[in-house]
Structure 1
Amino acid sequence: MNNLSNRNLIIQIFPFALFACIDGFASVSFIWLLLDKYNSLLSIGICLSISTILSFLIQKKLAFIKNQIYMNVNKFFMFQSFFALVFSISNLFLLNNFFNREIIMISLIIYSLFVFMNYFVIDSFISKLILNKKITSTKGSVVSQIVMQFGAIIGFSVGGKVFNLFGIKGSSFSIIFLILMSLIIVSINSTLFQVSNESKLEVTNSSLNKNESLHSSFHIWMAAFCILMISFQISNFNLFLPDIFLKYKYWTAENYGYIAGITSLGAFIASFVVYKGNLFLPCILLASCVIPIANYILAFSNVMILCLVASFFLGFSVNSLRSTFRKNMFDNLSSQNDVSKWMSISNLFTFLPRALFPLIASLLIGSAMTNYVFPMIGLIIALLIIVFTILFIIKSNEIKKIQHERL
């Protein structure tokens, strides 16, 4: 096994991390413009829904793109970065000369797609290293989380500051700089490092008896429904929090950037946390209760330090729940058919709320009383997660009792 050193791994992954920062810069800048200039929560809902739907279609329907990315990771990233650079320069010209709501909405959607494709690139790059025995799967998972959360933390925190100081021009130039640096570094890396396209993937299938299969099915459905609830909370956060900060707290994009960045930091740390054993139920209950409490603090408190603490624990709680439920799902998959079936359901439950919630909520609620709606939705989500978990444990114990009686 020819292990890849940490130094070389960091060098190769760094351009992807830089590109991931675009998400924070673009989200803070364009979302804040839509709220500040046009007072349009509906426009944000439309953008979030369209970008999610397009991303989902790319993932589900255009399978050949995945193959192209996997076979030529650096080349695809260079192509993507070049296209993003051309778009960003053109977009800067459009914003300077034809500034309007439609340009802002299109910009937000396209940058969201660029970031989504970058996540594909990261997954393909890590998968190739793992399959070629360059790094372990555990290390690959950690590196992937580091890259994605690094982009969110730096992008939102620095992006909010830049937008607050220099406006949309400053954000646009920053995005161009990030893309240009990513393109230069990956071009250098492509000449220094080469990852073989050949890989070996061992797939093992195992069969479960009917009782075990039934037990696993309950595990998986519980995890899937809880992932669905978590996706609603993420959509709730992305849609309503900027509106609350601007209209009820009179905070700036810089404040929102700090909050989003700290939330991502909490989510990053939680990537290494999985609740299990005797701590499973107490930790699920505690993490679930944090969601409405943190939402309430973010909605009504004007103390920045308190909001930062709340956002950190919110990010930690949400991502620790997601990590736990996803691990629970993975642990109960027994065949390749199970993987395909349940991963499709997981992806559907992840994307569906992000596609439908922003549009429906912005249409039905608008900007009316969003500071009350935000924590209320968090409370409903927490209660449903708790109910699903308790029902699952009760049903799981019943199945175990039946299995024990049959032995």
Structure 2
Amino acid sequence: MSFPIGLRSGAPGPARAYVGDLDGRRVVTVGIDGSVKLGALSSSASMTIAEAAEAARAQRLPLIMEIASSGADLVEGISALHGWGVAARAITTCSGVVPIIAIVDGPAVSGPALLLGVADWVIMTERSYAFVSGPTMVAEFTGVFIDNDELGGAETHARQSGLPAVVVTDIDAARAEAARLLAYLPDHCDDEPPRWPTDDPPDRQVPEAGALIPPTSTGSYDVRKVIEALADDGEYMELRARWAANVVTVFATVDGRPVGIVANQPMALAGTLDIPASQKAARFVAFCDAFNLPIITLVDTPGFYPGKDLEWRGMIRHGAQLVFAYGRATVPRICVILRKSYGGAYIVMDSKKMGNDLCLAWPWAELAVMGAGQAAAILQRRATPEEKAEFERDYAERLLNPYVAAERGFVDAVINPAETRSIIANALTVLQDKRERLQSRKHDNTPL
């Protein structure tokens, strides 16, 4: 990285800000040096962070934050907290205007940890850790003794909270991943994502995609293989891979156009939607919509994951986050139903009446309120096994096939799986000038 222009370069403290380049992309970078007073944020350091955020927003450049901080400067007291508030507000004003990527290479404790939640994407090195309240406070309040890594290490967050999009070995690898991520993104919300050069023909047939689907509706397969077949040169960047594995979120390109892909993963929880999956997908859809990336949704889900615990923890509210994200998205949206699409999950996975631009289904797709077995268990609970089997056969034949949905306008086309990539590429070309009139309001009220 080269940094020819410094911001507040004479200011004391661990924060340094520059306007420079990252692998050929112009960016604003602010770094907190953990070797200077353990990266403790003074009011001056926070003002440097705020200056960098304001410069990124004014110049319409991505904001890169490199964080290694033990929290607010205790010696400075309330002034340090005031400065942190100024920095947090400046970063917040960048949200949805320019991409915000945070790199953690060391501690991110208390206030700096909360800044990670404001960032669009977080990249953590293996030695980093982040938490709002550390092991000492946990032990004092709960009596549980725990170390930094177990409480907030990179691996812990990757599995439990979904904070990091990627975990890497060191700071150089983190910067390389940030550059890789930026390659899919525009500099700001009023720009288009950069077109990628590719020799992969947009009309390439992908029979291997359909061949992945097992003959039984309960069989498992890796949906990432379908994504690999559809993407240019089989390349994509998966984000938050170890958290909420029942939904996959990736950046890829189709005919050189960067896209965001959301896909149910049958290999994890049978592709059902739970709270983490809803949050993961909703955040990803909202980001793609903010920065003009078309959204491709690959659907194969039997519904929402049932359970008392999930309902008590707010499945309704969190499931609504995904409904809300798709419902307000104005970028080109293409939905492909690979196999199952049942019940409420059918609705939230960008169904036709949720406003997608093109809804496709493979010939064996099943669209219904529920599967044949579930319907038989409810409607034929007193029937003999033979009567239930006959009911299931008739139910599947009359109601589950995609042609019924196509007749009613809920599916635009039932297609040969081998033609999926070609149809998506053509649709993206047609939709490249899509515009929608936005509602006049201060802001929406996202379910949180």
Q: TM-score range by the shorter chain?
A: under 0.3
Which of the pair has more CA radius of gyration? 2
Higher helix share: 1
Report 1 or 2 for greater relative contact order, CA contacts < 8 Å, sequence distance ≥ 6.
1
Alignment TM-score, normalising by the size of structure 1? 0.25
Higher strand share: 2
